[in-house]
């Protein structure tokens, strides 16, 4: 870390706050700031117009300056003191100082009263570095807004009057935006009046204050729980903030003890914020890019990428290639998503987690999470009750990683709520939530790579994918590409793996790309937008038709339009990998090959046509007939003396085989066509 010039809060706050509080009149404060601006920032002030935003630098250089009257010399420390003690009035003081300087050049119009001011601090800290001991210390940090409470009014400057009719007083709120009711100090001769004064709301000025929740940016906490803080914004900062916005903020950590409830409220008082414009993504330099493009012309470029991707994981080349295509991403088109979703299923300890974690290491804007232990807001979004009793809608990781990636391990352990809202995120690219009288829709153009383990701990070959991992077929169908990785005991593979592990120790490994290289490579190719060519789309159409024809022969669905869209995205990604501006037939051929490899991992052979997409979702073992009678028997055992039609239909619709409509038809069919069930006097079905 760079050596910081800042002193610690202790030698700064301690003695000054306790023993030498800054007590100046407002005009003296204005004089100090004016002197400071005249000495160091006159050029910037001269350039200002009333519509500008003045960036007031809050430095820690110990520069010295005289106040406006040249009566006292100060160091910058005094600016910080004013900032801390007069934070509510701080910007007004700066404005007045600027207006004084502007008076040199002629009359100052009243427009200057609305000059916008932002604080710029020299050193940034991370929210996770902030400790409770830093109370009252200004700090500058990057944060994402993850919750916004409704805005509230507060009294900025109150007008108090004495019930006995003595002259009134104007009293500004303190730095916690709280008012202390004064007693009347009016005296006629001897003692002061001492009457408790009354607040006159009509003569008081009010403004807005809003509670928000901020979180450190996801990039800095890839594998942990991001630090959260309560914060408050006030006055002209209130309004434009939206959830999931990332900002550079400066603020002061405040602690307020409520004497009535004895509760301690700790929050960040945000003094200013600006959008973070710069992206932290590591882009290749011009030379590096030139080299990458040259490398991509080599015939074994993709193989080298695959070998460089998690080299400690042996084999799984097709899976790695699919992940590489997924990380490159497609291109968004009108209503169609561009992000690629990938699902890795299979036995535990088959490197699925390792692969996902590596993806998170390579991609800057991404988060690695587990289905069971996401944040309070879950994977997508949730209404969360705040300690102050207010409800707040908070975005989950999929929303926070908008335009990025989320890697979800153990998707099978996600809550039913999360699983159902993932549907929307993965298809419409939005997350909507309606709860506690609030409704919000967040953009979620997020790529989702997930992994899932079988419920029983071991993949059961007789069962379908949906049954093995306990995920609804509709969710499975949202993934462009699915792989099954089995823990097969295979002598050849074992000895090859042993050789591979030994190689890593003996350094006979060929020269691979570093993680740093991959990081820059994906940052760059992610920005590319290759165009579809007629030849490439003809090739896609041909593949699609071939597979459809085979479907007809097999009476099974090999491919539908959802998979066709997936193939377009994968072909696009392949073209991006090679820095191509146009998608070629070769890109399509490779994308289709990767897709076929994924089908083969489930034991299907797309070349011979023996593929049935439905077996992803339901096994032959549990066909409709079996399901029907299993459910019937289950309900019969529960209800005794026959089965009520509605409970039978309801239970059938809950199975993977039926929806409500088809359940109703099946019951009708069994009753009046096949005569396998009949209705008894109580209106209950009995088995014939
Ligand atoms: Zn009085």
How many angstroms is it from 441 CA to the middle of ligand 1? 54
Domain extent listing, the chain: 9-122, 132-275, 286-528, 624-687
How many angstroms is it from 173 CA to the middle of ligand 1? 21
Distances (CA, A) of 225 to 216, 373, 397, 567: 10, 10, 11, 35
Of 219, 315, 353, 309, the C-alpha closest to 577 is 309
How many angstroms is it from 171 CA to the middle of ligand 1? 16
How many angstroms is it from 193 CA to the middle of ligand 1? 5
What's residue 223's pLDDT? 66
How many angstroms is it from 393 CA to the middle of ligand 1? 48
How many angstroms is it from 88 CA to the middle of ligand 1? 28
How many angstroms is it from 187 CA to the middle of ligand 1? 8
Cα separation, 442 vs 445, whole angstroms: 10
How many angstroms is it from 196 CA to the middle of ligand 1? 8
pLDDT tens figures, 212-255: 999 888 777 766 677 888 899 988 888 778 787 888 888 878 88
Residue 20 tokens, joined: 């030498």
How many angstroms is it from 167 CA to the middle of ligand 1? 8
**CATH architecture classification, 132-275:** Beta Barrel (2.40)
How many angstroms is it from 159 CA to the middle of ligand 1? 14
Residue bearing the bigger pLDDT, 3 or 193: 193
How many angstroms is it from 166 CA to the middle of ligand 1? 5
How many angstroms is it from 201 CA to the middle of ligand 1? 18
Q: Which residues contact 685 (CB under 8 A, 6 or more apart)?
A: 632, 642, 643, 644, 645, 648, 667, 671, 677, 678, 679
Distances (CA, A) of 502 to 312, 493, 506: 11, 14, 6
Residue bearing the bigger pLDDT, 649 or 488: 649
* Euclidean distance between the first and the last CA atom of the chain, given in angstroms as a whole number: 80
How many angstroms is it from 51 CA to the middle of ligand 1? 44
User: Using only C-alpha atoms, what is the Rg of the chain?
Assistant: 33
Alpha helices, DSSP H only, in 433-584? 465-469, 473-476, 491-506, 515-525, 534-554, 561-577
How many angstroms is it from 163 CA to the middle of ligand 1? 7
What's residue 13's pLDDT? 35
How many angstroms is it from 192 CA to the middle of ligand 1? 8
CATH class, domain 286-528, is alpha beta
Q: In 316-457, where do the E strands start and end?
A: 342-346, 366-370, 381-385, 391-395, 405-409, 430-435, 438-443, 447-452
* pLDDT for residue 61 is more than 80: no
How many angstroms is it from 302 CA to the middle of ligand 1? 85
Sign of CA dihedral 291, 292, 296, 300: positive
Indicate the pairing of strand 116-121 with strand 53-58: parallel
* pLDDT for residue 14 is more than 50: no
> Ranked by mean pLDDT, which of 62-71, 427-436, 530-539 comes out on top?
530-539
Cα separation, 557 vs 555, whole angstroms: 7
Please state the separation of Cα 633 from the chain's center in Å. Answer: 46
How many angstroms is it from 194 CA to the middle of ligand 1? 6
**Which residue bears the tokens 């900062």?**
237
How many angstroms is it from 165 CA to the middle of ligand 1? 6
How many angstroms is it from 352 CA to the middle of ligand 1? 76
**Which residue bears the tokens 């029907």?**
628
Q: In 168-241, where do the E strands start and end?
A: 169-172, 198-199, 205-215, 228-234
Residue 214 tokens, joined: 């901020």
* pLDDT for residue 340 is more than 70: yes
What's residue 593's pLDDT? 93
Q: What is the dihedral of CA 576, 581, 584, 587, to 10 degrees?
A: 0
How many angstroms is it from 197 CA to the middle of ligand 1? 7
How many angstroms is it from 199 CA to the middle of ligand 1? 13
How many angstroms is it from 202 CA to the middle of ligand 1? 20
What's residue 162's pLDDT? 92
How many angstroms is it from 195 CA to the middle of ligand 1? 5
How many angstroms is it from 359 CA to the middle of ligand 1? 71
Cα separation, 604 vs 144, whole angstroms: 45
Average pLDDT of the chain to the nearest whole number: 81
What's residue 1's pLDDT? 34
Q: What is the dihedral of CA 658, 423, 597, 319, to 10 degrees?
A: -140
How many angstroms is it from 180 CA to the middle of ligand 1? 16
* pLDDT for residue 400 is more than 90: no
How many angstroms is it from 204 CA to the middle of ligand 1? 19
How many angstroms is it from 78 CA to the middle of ligand 1? 37
Cα separation, 500 vs 510, whole angstroms: 12
* pLDDT for residue 403 is more than 70: yes
How many angstroms is it from 185 CA to the middle of ligand 1? 7
How many angstroms is it from 45 CA to the middle of ligand 1? 45
How many angstroms is it from 24 CA to the middle of ligand 1? 27
Paired strand residues for 254: 267
How many angstroms is it from 160 CA to the middle of ligand 1? 11
How many angstroms is it from 184 CA to the middle of ligand 1? 5
pLDDT tens figures, 465-508: 878 888 877 788 889 999 998 876 655 566 666 666 666 655 54
Cα separation, 353 vs 364, whole angstroms: 18
What is the average per-residue pLDDT within 306-310? 90
What is the average per-residue pLDDT within 176-200? 86
pLDDT tens figures, 346-371: 888 888 999 999 998 898 888 888 88
How many angstroms is it from 198 CA to the middle of ligand 1? 10
What's residue 198's pLDDT? 92
How many angstroms is it from 86 CA to the middle of ligand 1? 28
How many angstroms is it from 650 CA to the middle of ligand 1? 75
How many angstroms is it from 200 CA to the middle of ligand 1? 15
Residue 561 tokens, joined: 């339009």
Please tell me the number of Cα atoms within 13 Å of 394 on its side-chain side.
24
Same fold for the pair 132-275 and 286-528? no
């Amino acid at each position: 870390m760079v050596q910081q010039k800042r002193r610690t809060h202790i030698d700064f706050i301690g003695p000054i706050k306790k023993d030498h509080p800054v007590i100046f009149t407002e005009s003296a404060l204005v004089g100090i700031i004016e002197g400071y601006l005249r000495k160091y920032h006159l050029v910037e002030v001269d350039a200002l117009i009333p519509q500008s935003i003045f960036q007031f630098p809050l430095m820690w250089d110990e520069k010295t300056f005289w106040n406006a009257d040249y009566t006292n010399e100060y160091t910058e420390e005094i600016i910080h003191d004013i900032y801390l003690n007069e934070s509510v009035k701080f910007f007004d003081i700066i404005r007045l100082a600027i207006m004084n300087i502007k008076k040199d050049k002629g009359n100052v119009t009243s427009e200057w009263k609305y000059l916008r001011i932002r604080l710029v601090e020299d050193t940034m800290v991370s929210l996770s570095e902030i400790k409770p001991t830093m109370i009252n210390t200004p700090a500058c940090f990057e944060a994402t807004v993850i919750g916004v409470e409704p805005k509230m009014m507060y009294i900025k400057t109150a007008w108090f009057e004495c019930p006995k009719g003595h002259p009134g007083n104007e009293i500004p709120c303190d730095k916690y935006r709280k008012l202390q009711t004064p007693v009347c100090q009016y005296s006629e001769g001897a003692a002061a009046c001492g009457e408790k004064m009354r607040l006159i709301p009509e003569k008081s000025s009010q403004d807005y204050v809003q509670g928000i929740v901020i979180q450190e940016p996801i990039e800095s906490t890839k594998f942990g729980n991001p630090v959260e803080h309560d914060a408050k914004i006030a006055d002209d900062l209130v309004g434009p903030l939206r959830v999931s916005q990332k900002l550079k903020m400066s603020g002061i950590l405040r602690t307020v003890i409520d004497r009535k409830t004895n509760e301690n409220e700790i929050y960040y008082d945000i003094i200013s914020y600006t959008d973070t414009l710069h992206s932290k993504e590591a882009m290749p330099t011009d030379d590096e890019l030139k080299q990458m493009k040259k490398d991509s012309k080599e015939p074994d470029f993709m193989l080298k990428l695959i070998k460089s991707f998690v080299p400690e994981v042996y084999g799984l080349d097709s899976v790695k290639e699919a992940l590489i295509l997924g990380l490159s991403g497609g291109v968004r088109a009108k209503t169609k998503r561009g992000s690629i979703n990938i699902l890795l299923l299979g036995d535990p300890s088959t490197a699925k987690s390792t692969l996902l974690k590596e993806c998170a290491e390579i991609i800057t804007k991404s988060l690695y999470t587990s289905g069971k232990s996401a944040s309070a807001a879950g994977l997508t979004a949730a209404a969360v009750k705040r300690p102050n009793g207010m409800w707040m809608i908070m975005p989950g990781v999929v929303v926070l990683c908008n335009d990025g990636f989320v890697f979800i391990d153990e998707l099978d352990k996600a809550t039913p709520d999360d699983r159902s809202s993932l549907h929307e995120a993965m298809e419409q690219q939005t997350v909507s939530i309606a709860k506690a009288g609030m409704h919000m829709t967040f953009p979620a153009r997020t790529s989702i790579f997930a992994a899932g383990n079988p419920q029983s701990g071991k993949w059961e070959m007789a069962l379908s994918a949906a049954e093995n991992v306990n995920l609804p077929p509709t969710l499975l169908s949202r993934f462009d590409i699915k792989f099954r990785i089995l823990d097969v005991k295979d002598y050849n593979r074992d000895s090859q793996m042993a050789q591979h592990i030994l190689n890593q120790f003996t350094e006979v490994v060929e020269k691979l790309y570093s993680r740093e290289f991959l990081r820059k490579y994906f940052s760059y190719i992610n920005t590319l937008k290759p165009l579809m060519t007629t030849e490439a789309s003809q090739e896609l159409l041909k593949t699609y038709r071939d597979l459809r024809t085979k479907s007809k022969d097999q009476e099974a669905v090999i491919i539908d339009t959802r998979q066709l869209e997936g193939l377009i995205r994968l072909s696009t990604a392949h073209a991006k990998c090679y820095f191509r501006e146009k998608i070629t037939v070769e890109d399509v051929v490779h994308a289709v090959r990767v897709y076929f490899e994924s089908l083969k991992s489930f034991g299907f052979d797309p070349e011979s046509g023996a593929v049935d997409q439905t077996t992803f979702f339901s096994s032959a073992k549990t066909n409709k007939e079996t399901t029907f009678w299993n459910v019937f028997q289950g309900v019969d055992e529960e209800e005794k003396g026959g089965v009520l039609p509605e409970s039978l239909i309801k239970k059938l619709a809950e199975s993977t085989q039926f929806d409500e409509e088809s359940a109703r038809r099946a019951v009708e069919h069994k009753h009046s066509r096949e005569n396998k069930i009949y209705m008894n006097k109580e209106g209950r079905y009995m088995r014939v």
